[in-house]
């Protein structure tokens, strides 16, 4: 080949070279030509593209399946929480309904003038035992709600000074019965705050009650409240409950906050469920604080926590019903389906001169109200769980009726439903106040005087 090329003339060689260069320049590169000339590389590129496309499809499909499962699990969890909430609410209602009959009957008998002293003693023991049983029921229900994540803290305006005064007065009875000295030291500048008054009182009652229980006769218990820091909108409050009791061993300082755990002698441990401190710690945690303890054996204990409370609106003084207060000419519509509880409520109300008309369910209550003349009823006491029509539906029907008193008549819930969501639903339905069973008679009279007096003032 070399000899042939060399035998060509210079002009022939240049001519051949020019012809080949033109052919190469004119050649077109196509996918078909590329695949034909590079089969292995082509197969590798196509396989990689298909693999990447498949991975993208798999990832998208997996994300969609995972998202569907998450939504399904969330719906299932919401349904389970709703079922648990309904179960706890129903269980609370079913327990408190017969408890109301026991407590109410005991109170009615105690109100009689010709009762022998020995019977009064039995009634006092029955009342104390009923209150103790109710406390255990509340603790168990609260612990169940904590475990299910359903315990919540509300924000309402209240007077901290008033709360502490009421608490001190209430706990003095227990302290005197145990021959323990109870003192209260308050150093606060801002009393009108916003928070959960009921839950805060529950925590302090638990801690003071425990301190009294574990302090021998002749010992001392002190409640101390100090405003440790403040700004223009909020303040930090330090609560301390100290005693000179038996104390707690160092190894038990954290164990006492566990459910059903108790420290102390076997006799003292038998008094209660061991849920008070775990519940109290959870409530304080929900309020943004931490319940702590320091103690020495035979030297006493101190439980303490700090919480920040925003300032609230001033709360006016509530009307307190005198023990001898009467409500002559007052007429109340009582909506109650339970015969025994209805009889008890009627006897309690009539003992104060109140005229009572009974409606066996919500539907009957609405009908009786709509058929009444303007101003005939001064107040409605409304149960929440009733056949045919519940108290919430009945209240809404009354509020939206064409009766001239539809908006102004006070409607007070008198129910065995005791949870915060029950209070919220009652308020949203148009109820003005909320009373729980077992019924506290003094509180009932105070609420009646508050709303009936307010209604009469508006009339004038």
- Provide the whole-model pTM: 0.63
Please give the Cα distance from 254 to 239 (Å, whole number): 19
| Tens of pLDDT, residues 16-46 | 555 554 444 444 556 667 666 777 877 787 7
| Residue 427's pLDDT band (cuts 50, 70, 90) | very high
Length of the chain: 460
Mean pLDDT (whole number) for 409-416: 93
Please give the Cα distance from 228 to 50 (Å, whole number): 69
| Tens of pLDDT, residues 264-301 | 544 444 455 578 899 999 999 999 999 999 999 989 99
Mean residue pLDDT across the chain = 83
| All residues at 6 or more sequence positions from 367 whose CB lies less than 8 Å from its CB, including other chains | 359
Please give the Cα distance from 248 to 255 (Å, whole number): 10
pLDDT at 2: 60
Percent of the chain whose pLDDT exceeds 90: 45
CATH (one of 3.40.50.720, 3.40.920.10, 3.40.50.2300, 1.10.3720.10) for 331-459:
3.40.50.2300
pLDDT at 458: 55
CA distances from 146 to 51, 79, 247, 289 (A): 50, 17, 28, 16
CA distances from 48 to 6, 41, 263, 373, 449 (A): 50, 11, 69, 86, 84
CA atoms within 13 A on the CB side of 27: 9
CA atoms within 13 A on the CB side of 358: 15
Evaluate if residue 360 carries a pLDDT over 70.
yes
| Residue 206's pLDDT band (cuts 50, 70, 90) | very high
pLDDT at 64: 86
Domain positions in the chain: 88-147, 156-310, 331-459
pLDDT at 23: 46
Mean pLDDT (whole number) for 204-212: 93
| Tens of pLDDT, residues 227-276 | 999 999 999 999 999 999 999 998 888 888 886 555 554 444 445 557 88
Evaluate if residue 335 carries a pLDDT over 90.
yes
| Tens of pLDDT, residues 144-196 | 777 777 778 888 899 999 999 989 988 998 899 899 999 999 999 999 999 99
Count of CB atoms within 10 A of residue 453's CB?
A: 13
| Residue 316's pLDDT band (cuts 50, 70, 90) | low
Q: Which CATH fold topology does 156-310 show?
A: Heat Shock Protein 90 (3.30.565)
pLDDT at 317: 47
Could you tell me the sign of the dihedral formed by the alpha carbons of 210, 296, 292, 183, in that order? positive
Please give the Cα distance from 348 to 325 (Å, whole number): 13
pLDDT at 269: 45
């Amino acid at each position: 080949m070399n000899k042939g090329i060399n035998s060509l003339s210079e002009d022939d060689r240049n001519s051949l070279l020019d012809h080949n260069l033109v052919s190469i320049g004119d050649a077109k590169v196509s996918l078909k030509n590329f695949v034909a000339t590079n089969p292995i590389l082509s197969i590798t590129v196509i396989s990689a593209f298909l693999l990447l496309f498949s991975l993208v499809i798999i990832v998208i499909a997996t994300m969609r399946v995972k998202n569907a499962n998450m939504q399904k699990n969330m719906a299932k969890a919401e349904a389970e929480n709703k079922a648990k909430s309904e179960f706890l609410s129903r269980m609370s209602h079913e327990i408190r309904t017969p408890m109301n009959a026991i407590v109410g009957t005991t109170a009615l008998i105690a109100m009689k003038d010709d009762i022998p002293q020995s019977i009064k003693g039995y009634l006092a023991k029955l009342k104390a035992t009923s209150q103790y049983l109710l406390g255990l029921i509340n603790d168990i229900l609260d612990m169940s709600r904590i475990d299910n994540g359903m315990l919540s803290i509300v924000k309402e305006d209240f007077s901290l000074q008033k709360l502490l005064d009421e608490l001190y007065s209430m706990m003095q009875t227990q302290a005197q019965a145990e021959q323990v000295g109870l003192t209260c030291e308050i150093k606060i500048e801002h009393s009108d705050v916003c928070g959960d008054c009921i839950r805060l009182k529950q925590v302090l009652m638990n801690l003071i009650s425990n301190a009294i229980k574990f302090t021998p006769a002749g010992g001392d218990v002190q409640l101390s409240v100090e405003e440790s820091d403040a700004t223009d909108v909020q303040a930090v409050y330090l609560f301390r409950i100290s005693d000179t009791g038996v104390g707690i061993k160092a190894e038990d300082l954290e164990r006492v906050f566990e459910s059903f755990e108790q420290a102390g002698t076997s006799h003292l441990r038998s008094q209660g469920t061991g849920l008070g401190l775990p519940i109290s710690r959870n409530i304080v945690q929900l309020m943004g604080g931490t319940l702590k303890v320091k103690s020495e054996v035979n030297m006493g204990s101190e439980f303490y926590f700090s919480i920040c409370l925003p300032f609230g609106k001033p709360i006016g003084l509530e009307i307190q019903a005198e023990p001898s207060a009467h409500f002559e000419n007052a007429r109340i519509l009582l909506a109650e389906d339970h015969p025994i509880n209805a009889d008890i409520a009627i006897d309690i109300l009539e003992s104060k001169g109140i005229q009572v008309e009974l409606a066996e369910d919500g539907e009957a209550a609405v009908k009786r109200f709509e058929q009444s003349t303007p101003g005939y009823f001064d107040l409605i006491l409304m149960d929440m769980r009733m056949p045919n029509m519940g108290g919430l539906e009945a209240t809404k029907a009354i509020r939206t009726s064409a009766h001239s008193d539809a908006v102004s008549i006070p409607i007070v819930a008198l129910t065995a439903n005791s949870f915060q969501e029950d209070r919220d639903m009652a308020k949203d339905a148009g109820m003005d106040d909320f009373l729980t069973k077992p019924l506290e008679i003094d509180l009932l009279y105070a609420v009646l005087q508050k709303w009936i007096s307010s209604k009469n003032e508006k009339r004038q």
